Structure 1
Amino acid sequence: MNGHKGEATFIYAGCTKDARKELWNRLINISQQMSSSWVVGGDFNCITSIAEKSGGRVPNLVKMNNFSDNIHRAGLFDLGFKGPAFTWKRGAIWERFDRMLVNDAWFNHFLLTFVTHLSLAGSDHRPILISISHPDLIIKLSLLQIKTAKALRKWSWETFGNVHAKVQEAENEVNRLEHEEQIDNVEEKELLTAQNNFLSDIEYQEKILKQKAAMNIFTDGDRNTVFYHAYIKYKRKCNTIHAIQNANGQWLHDNAEIANDAISYYKNLLNQEHHPRTPIERAQLSIIPEPPLSGHTFLLN
C-alpha cells in the first residue's frame, strides 16, 4: 500500500502444550529476524483473559499468562477488533481464539489498520476482515495539533513570561520590603501584598516544574528501548477513533465523515444562543434536610 510492503504469517495453533510451545519458539525466532512490517493472524487456540470466554469451565490462568507472555516476547501487539466479542463457538461455549497481531514496524506504515469480526456462518469460527485506511486525514490533524501547541507555547510565554525570573524578582522584593519594615519605612499592607505575589509566582513555578518532570519521564525515561516506542505506537493505534454516532443516530466509519461530523457538531455547539440558568430560589433550599446535631452520638460497627 502506497509503496510499502509487509510480511504476513497465518496461524493454526495446535491444542497441546508442546504444539503451542513449538509454534511460539518459531514465531519468536522469526520476530528476531524481522525488520519489515509483519502481521500474524489466525486461530491461536488460546485466549488472553477471562473476558474472552463465555460459558463452560473457568479458563486456565497459567495458559492465558503464557499466551500473553509469548505475544510480548515476540514483540507483537493485538490490533483489537470491531463486531462480536467471540470468534469460535461450540454448544454454549464462546471464545476469542482468532486474532490479528502486528509488530511495531507495522504501525510506521499502516497505523489505521482495523479488524472486524464478521457473521458466523458455515463454520465454528468467524471470518475476520482486516482493512487498512489511508492516513492523510490523521496527518492533517497531527499538523493542526503541532500548530496549536506552538500557539499555546507562544501564549504561555507572552502571558506568564519567564516564571523562574519572576519568582526571583518577587523574592527580592519581599526581602527588600522586610528590611524597610524593620526601619519603619514601609506599611505592613505593602509587605503582605508582596508576599502574596511571591507565593503566587512559586505556585506557577511548581506547576511548570511538575509538567516538565512528567514530560521528561515520558520522553527520556525509556528513550532507548524498542518496546517503549512500539508501545507508544500501539497506544496511538488504540486511541484512534474507528467510528462515531452522529446526532441522527447513524454510525459513521469513514474518516472524512467522522472529521466533518465532529467539526459540524462543535460549530453548532459554539454558535448556539447562550441561555443563562434559572437562579435557585431560597425557598427551594428549605426542602434540604438539616444535618445531624453535633451533640448526637453515632454507633460505628
Structure 2
Amino acid sequence: MGDFNDIRASSERIGGFQVNAHCTRWFQDRINEARLTDLGSKGPSMTWRGPRAMNGSRLFKRLDRVLANSHFLNFFSESYVQVLPRTEFSDHNALLLCVGAQVNTMKPLKPFHFEVMWLGHDDFNRFINDSWSTQEVLETNLATLQQNIDKWHKSVFGFVEKKKTKLLARLKGIQNSKAYPFSFLCRLECQLQSELESLLRSEELKWF
C-alpha cells in the first residue's frame, strides 16, 4: 500500500506525452509475478498531481494503490480502498484501506488526544486550573479533565472542525468529477485549497 511511482496502463494518466507501453507492461508483469491483485479504489481516479508546465497544463497519474495477495483477499473479502481528498500539503491523495463491514454497531471509544492548538487559546490555562481539584486523587482528576476538555474543545473549536469537514467534502467532489481537471473546477479547487490552508495555518488558533 502506497506510492509505487508507476502506472499499469495509459488510462491511469492524464496529460503529458505518450505513455511508455514497455514501462506499464513491466510494472504489470511484476504484479503478476508476485501473484498480487490491485484492489482498485473508490473516489478520484488519479492520486498524484504533477507541477504545472510552461503551458499551464498539469500531469495526473494513479501512482498510489493497494496490492494484496490471496490470503488477504480470503480473510478480508469485503475490503476496499477509499481515495481521500488531496490538499495543498501534498501532491498525493491519501488512501484509506477499509478491511470489511463494521460488525459492531456500537460507537467505539476514541482515545484521548492532546491538541497543540489548545495552547494558543487565552483561556486554556485557566480552564486547566478550574478543572483540577487538589482534593481529588490523580486518576479522578484525569478522568474529570478528559470529560471537561472534550466539551470545551467542541464549544471553542467545533466550528473549525465543521468548516474543515465541509471544505474537504467539496474538494473530494471536485477531484472525483469527470470534468476535472479540464474545467472551471480547477479554479474552484485552488480557492478551496487556499481557504483550507488559511484555516489550518491560522495564527489565532496556532495549529502548528
**TM-score, normalization by structure 1:** 0.31
Which structure has more relative contact order (CA 8 Å, sep 6+)? It is 2
- Which protein is richer in strand relative to its size? 1
Please tell me whether Structure 1 or Structure 2 has the larger radius of gyration of its CA atoms: 1
- Which protein is richer in helix relative to its size? 1
